[in-house]
Amino acid sequence: MNITFSLEEINEVAQKILEQNPNKVMLFHGEMGVGKTTLIKALAKQLGITETTSSPTFSLVNEYQTTDNQPVYHFDFYRLNKEMEAMDMGADEYLFSGNWCFIEWADKIPNLIPDLHSVISLELLADGKRSLSLS
């Protein structure tokens, strides 16, 4: 799936992503400020999360519950220095739990990523819109 969108359309884009039946472990690639966290917030909303969501930059992982009590995990590994730090926090247990796992800066933990995963790549365009590809 490839799509170009404005931030005003992000909820519709999140719905379209979920309609593609992606793998539950989703890697988000893109430069800082491109909108990875904003898109994850929209995906969380589409999955039925009603609580406020935020970037787990300092905690590394935030856990949310959908309205039917299913956990959703949001990771931000930007601050990691070594992959072992993710192992120490039990990231592998989250990633192989069968629950939704949205991962920013997954390149910091290449050996922990399950084989079955989806990748969302975001790019900021000159006109302020975003280009998204899902694979």
Gap between the Cα atoms of 114 and 84, Å rounded: 16
- The arrangement of secondary structure in 2-134, i.e. its CATH architecture, is 3-Layer(aba) Sandwich (3.40)
Please give the pLDDT value at position 3. 97
CA 89 to the chain's CA centroid: 18
pLDDT digits (tens, 9 = 90+) for 17-36: 999 999 999 999 999 999 99
pLDDT at residue 130 is higher than 80: yes
Per-residue pLDDT tens over the stretch 85-98 = 999 999 999 999 99
Q: State which H helix or E strand residue 12 sits in.
A: helix 10-19
Average model confidence (pLDDT) for the chain?
Answer: 95
Q: How far apart are CA 68 and CA 66, in angstroms?
A: 5
- Residue 121 burial by Cβ neighbours in a 10 Å radius (0-12, 13-18, 19+): middle
pTM across the whole model = 0.94
